[in-house]
Amino acid sequence: MPYAKKHKKKKEKERAKKRKLNGEFKKYYRKRDTSDWNKGAKNPSWKGGITPRNIKIRNSKEYKLWRESVFKRDNWTCIWCGQVSGNLNADHIKPFALFPELRFAIDNGRTLCLDCHKTTESYGRSKTNKKGVKIWKHK
Protein backbone atom coordinates (compact mmCIF):
# COMPACT_ATOMS: atom_id res chain seq x y z
CA MET A 1 0.00 0.00 0.00
CA PRO A 2 1.79 3.14 -1.16
CA TYR A 3 -0.31 5.41 1.03
CA ALA A 4 0.51 3.57 4.25
CA LYS A 5 4.19 3.56 3.39
CA LYS A 6 4.19 7.28 2.80
CA HIS A 7 2.26 7.86 6.00
CA LYS A 8 4.74 5.85 8.02
CA LYS A 9 7.64 7.84 6.65
CA LYS A 10 5.96 11.09 7.60
CA LYS A 11 5.41 9.85 11.12
CA GLU A 12 9.06 8.92 11.49
CA LYS A 13 10.05 12.34 10.30
CA GLU A 14 7.83 13.94 12.90
CA ARG A 15 9.23 11.73 15.60
CA ALA A 16 12.77 12.73 14.67
CA LYS A 17 11.74 16.37 14.78
CA LYS A 18 10.23 15.88 18.23
CA ARG A 19 13.37 14.18 19.48
CA LYS A 20 15.42 17.11 18.29
CA LEU A 21 13.10 19.61 19.92
CA ASN A 22 13.12 17.65 23.13
CA GLY A 23 16.92 17.67 23.20
CA GLU A 24 17.04 21.42 22.75
CA PHE A 25 14.38 21.89 25.39
CA LYS A 26 16.40 19.93 27.93
CA LYS A 27 19.55 21.84 27.09
CA TYR A 28 17.73 25.11 27.60
CA TYR A 29 16.42 24.09 31.00
CA ARG A 30 19.76 22.80 32.21
CA LYS A 31 21.25 26.18 31.42
CA ARG A 32 18.39 28.06 33.05
CA ASP A 33 18.51 26.01 36.25
CA THR A 34 22.14 26.79 36.91
CA SER A 35 21.69 30.54 36.49
CA ASP A 36 18.69 30.41 38.83
CA TRP A 37 20.78 28.80 41.57
CA ASN A 38 23.41 31.47 41.19
CA LYS A 39 20.80 34.18 41.44
CA GLY A 40 19.30 32.54 44.50
CA ALA A 41 22.59 32.11 46.32
CA LYS A 42 23.56 35.71 45.72
CA ASN A 43 20.21 37.19 46.60
CA PRO A 44 20.04 37.82 50.38
CA SER A 45 16.25 37.99 50.41
CA TRP A 46 16.00 34.54 48.89
CA LYS A 47 14.92 32.19 51.67
CA GLY A 48 15.02 29.01 49.68
CA GLY A 49 12.51 26.24 49.80
CA ILE A 50 12.97 23.43 52.27
CA THR A 51 12.52 20.79 49.56
CA PRO A 52 13.12 19.95 46.79
CA ARG A 53 15.15 23.06 46.13
CA ASN A 54 17.52 22.25 48.98
CA ILE A 55 18.06 18.79 47.58
CA LYS A 56 18.81 20.41 44.26
CA ILE A 57 21.33 22.72 45.93
CA ARG A 58 22.96 19.85 47.80
CA ASN A 59 23.54 18.19 44.45
CA SER A 60 24.76 21.38 42.80
CA LYS A 61 28.25 22.22 41.66
CA GLU A 62 28.41 25.16 44.09
CA TYR A 63 27.64 22.93 47.04
CA LYS A 64 30.23 20.36 46.03
CA LEU A 65 32.79 23.15 45.71
CA TRP A 66 31.82 24.50 49.13
CA ARG A 67 32.32 21.06 50.74
CA GLU A 68 35.67 20.62 49.04
CA SER A 69 36.81 24.04 50.25
CA VAL A 70 35.74 23.32 53.85
CA PHE A 71 37.52 19.94 53.85
CA LYS A 72 40.61 21.47 52.34
CA ARG A 73 40.73 24.29 54.91
CA ASP A 74 40.35 21.77 57.77
CA ASN A 75 42.85 19.36 56.17
CA TRP A 76 40.24 16.61 55.80
CA THR A 77 40.24 16.29 59.59
CA CYS A 78 37.26 16.25 61.96
CA ILE A 79 37.67 19.47 63.93
CA TRP A 80 36.15 17.90 67.07
CA CYS A 81 37.78 14.48 67.47
CA GLY A 82 40.64 14.73 64.97
CA GLN A 83 39.63 11.83 62.76
CA VAL A 84 41.42 12.16 59.43
CA SER A 85 39.52 11.36 56.23
CA GLY A 86 37.07 8.46 56.35
CA ASN A 87 33.43 9.41 56.68
CA LEU A 88 33.68 13.18 56.81
CA ASN A 89 30.79 15.61 56.55
CA ALA A 90 30.86 19.30 55.82
CA ASP A 91 28.53 20.75 58.43
CA HIS A 92 26.87 24.15 58.31
CA ILE A 93 27.51 25.91 61.63
CA LYS A 94 24.44 28.04 61.05
CA PRO A 95 21.71 25.77 59.68
CA PHE A 96 21.44 25.49 55.97
CA ALA A 97 17.67 26.05 55.88
CA LEU A 98 17.62 29.12 58.14
CA PHE A 99 20.61 30.96 56.71
CA PRO A 100 20.37 30.52 52.95
CA GLU A 101 22.78 33.39 52.38
CA LEU A 102 25.47 31.48 54.31
CA ARG A 103 25.06 28.15 52.61
CA PHE A 104 28.12 28.63 50.45
CA ALA A 105 30.15 30.63 52.98
CA ILE A 106 33.36 28.75 53.83
CA ASP A 107 33.37 30.41 57.28
CA ASN A 108 30.01 28.80 58.01
CA GLY A 109 31.36 25.34 57.29
CA ARG A 110 33.26 22.89 59.47
CA THR A 111 34.56 19.40 58.86
CA LEU A 112 33.05 16.76 61.12
CA CYS A 113 33.22 13.00 61.00
CA LEU A 114 29.86 11.28 60.78
CA ASP A 115 29.79 10.40 64.50
CA CYS A 116 30.49 13.98 65.57
CA HIS A 117 28.07 15.31 62.99
CA LYS A 118 25.33 13.16 64.49
CA THR A 119 25.75 14.92 67.83
CA THR A 120 25.07 18.38 66.36
CA GLU A 121 21.67 19.86 66.92
CA SER A 122 21.11 20.47 63.26
CA TYR A 123 21.81 16.90 62.19
CA GLY A 124 18.59 15.29 61.00
CA ARG A 125 16.57 18.14 62.44
CA SER A 126 13.47 16.95 60.65
CA LYS A 127 13.55 13.73 62.64
CA THR A 128 12.18 13.32 66.12
CA ASN A 129 13.68 11.33 68.98
CA LYS A 130 12.07 8.33 70.66
CA LYS A 131 9.80 10.51 72.75
CA GLY A 132 8.56 12.24 69.62
CA VAL A 133 10.25 15.52 70.59
CA LYS A 134 12.01 17.43 67.88
CA ILE A 135 15.75 17.05 68.52
CA TRP A 136 16.79 20.18 66.72
CA LYS A 137 16.15 23.61 68.15
CA HIS A 138 17.41 26.97 67.00
CA LYS A 139 19.68 28.74 69.48
| Interaction site with Zn ion (CB under 5 A) | 78, 80-81, 83, 113, 116
CB of 66 to Zn ion, least distance (A): 20
| Minimum CB distance to Zn ion smaller for 57 or for 112 | 112
Q: Beta strands 88-92 and 109-113: pairing type?
A: antiparallel
Q: Which helix (H) or strand (E) holds 7?
A: helix 2-42
| Minimum CB distance to Zn ion smaller for 83 or for 108 | 83
Half-sphere CA count of 33, side-chain side, radius 13 A: 13
Cβ pair 109, 139 in contact under 8 A: no
| Minimum CB distance to Zn ion smaller for 74 or for 101 | 74
CB of 43 to Zn ion, least distance (A): 34
Helix (H/G/I), strand (E/B), else coil: 64 = helix
CB of 103 to Zn ion, least distance (A): 22
